[in-house]
Amino acid sequence: MTYEEFLKTKDLERIEAGFDIPKSKLNKALFPFQRDIVSWALKKGKCAIFSDCGTGKTLMQMEFANQVCKHSKGNALIIAPLAVVEQTKKEGEKFGIAINVCRTQDDVKKGVNITNYEMLEHFTATAFTAVILDESSILKSFTSSTRDLLIDMFQKTPYRLACTATPSPNDHSELGNHAEFLGIMSRTEMLATYFIHDGSNTSAWRLKGYGEKKFWEWVATWAVCVRNPSDLGYSSEGYTLPELNIIEHITASEPEEYELVARRAETLSERREARKESMTDRINEAKELVSSSDDCWLVWCDYNSESESLHNAILDSVEVRGSDSPEHKAKTAIDFANNKIKALVSKPSIYGFGMNFQNCHEIIFCGLSDSYEQFYQAVRRCWRYGQTHAVNVHIIMSEAELNVLDNIKKKQSQMDALQENMIALMRDVTMSEIKHTTRIVAEYIPQKDFKYAIGE
What distance in Å separates the CA atoms of residue 265 and residue 272, rounded to the nearest whole number?
9
Q: Among 24-33, 56-65, 365-374, 391-400, which stretch is predicted with the lowest mean pLDDT?
A: 365-374
Q: Inform me whether the pLDDT recorded for 138 exceeds 60.
A: yes
Residue-wise pLDDT tens digits, 258-306 = 555 667 877 888 888 888 999 999 999 999 999 999 999 999 999 999 9
- Arithmetic mean of pLDDT, 222-236: 91
Q: Inform me whether the pLDDT recorded for 60 exceeds 50.
A: yes
123 touches 116 (CB < 8 A)? no
Give how far the C-alpha of residue 234 lies from the chain's centroid of Cα atoms, to the nearest Å.
Answer: 22
pLDDT value of position 453: 42
CB burial readout 377-406, b (16+ within 10 A) else e: bbbbbbbbbebeeebbbbbbbbbbbbebbe
What distance in Å separates the CA atoms of residue 154 and residue 127, rounded to the nearest whole number?
11
Task: List beta partners, residue 46.
Answer: 160
Q: What is each CA distance from 280 to 297, 320, 348, in whole angstroms? A: 19, 20, 21
% of the chain beyond a pLDDT of 90: 58
Q: Among 211-220, 263-272, 316-325, 389-398, which stretch is predicted with the lowest mean pLDDT?
A: 263-272
- Arithmetic mean of pLDDT, 130-150: 86
302 touches 369 (CB < 8 A)? yes
- Arithmetic mean of pLDDT, 157-185: 88
pLDDT level of residue 48 (50, 70, 90 thresholds): very high
pLDDT value of position 448: 52
Q: Inform me whether the pLDDT recorded for 97 exceeds 90.
A: yes
pLDDT value of position 267: 83
Sign, CA dihedral 21-23-25-26, equals positive
Write out the chain in H/E/C secondary structure: CCHHHHHHHHCCCCCCCCCCCCHHHCCCCCCHHHHHHHHHHHHHCEEEEEECCCCCHHHHHHHHHHHHHHHHCCCEEEEECHHHHHHHHHHHHHCCCCEEECCCHHHCCCCEEEEEHHHHHHCCHHHCCEEEEECHHHHCCCCCHHHHHHHHHCCCCCEEEEEECCCCCCCHHHHHHHHHHHCCCCHHHHHHHHEEEECCEEEEEEECCCHHHHHHHHHCCCEEEECCHHHHCCCCCCCCCCCEEEEEEEECCCCCCCCCCCCCCCCHHHHHHHHHHCHHHHHHHHHHHHHCCCCCEEEECCCHHHHHHHHHHCCCEEECCCCCCHHHHHHHHHHHHCCCCCEEEECHHHHCCCCCCCCCCEEEEECCCCCHHHHHHHHHCCCCCCCCCCEEEEEEEEHHHHHHHHHHHHHHHHHHHHHHHHHHHHHHHHHHHHHCCCCCCCCCCCCCCCCCCCCC
pLDDT value of position 5: 61
Which residue type occupies 406?
D
pLDDT value of position 456: 35
Q: Inform me whether the pLDDT recorded for 173 exceeds 90.
A: no
Domains and CATH numbers, the chain: 3-226 (3.40.50.10810), 244-408 (3.40.50.300)
pLDDT level of residue 152 (50, 70, 90 thresholds): very high
- Arithmetic mean of pLDDT, 298-315: 96
CB atoms within 10 A of CB 13: 11
90 touches 264 (CB < 8 A)? no
Q: What is each CA distance from 451 to 35, 302, 382, 456, in whole angstroms? A: 32, 24, 16, 8
pLDDT value of position 140: 79
Residues whose CB is less than 8 angstroms from the CB of residue 437 and which lie 6 or more positions away in sequence, other chains included: 233, 431
Q: Among 103-112, 217-226, 434-443, which stretch is predicted with the lowest mean pLDDT?
A: 434-443
Average model confidence (pLDDT) for the chain?
Answer: 87
pLDDT value of position 6: 58
What distance in Å separates the CA atoms of residue 388 and residue 430, rounded to the nearest whole number?
31
**Which is more confident, 100 or 214?**
100
What distance in Å separates the CA atoms of residue 84 and residue 334, rounded to the nearest whole number?
9
What distance in Å separates the CA atoms of residue 66 and residue 112, rounded to the nearest whole number?
6
pLDDT value of position 21: 92
pLDDT value of position 180: 94
pLDDT value of position 2: 65
Residue-wise pLDDT tens digits, 400-456 = 889 888 989 988 888 888 888 888 888 888 888 887 633 333 333 445 554 444 333
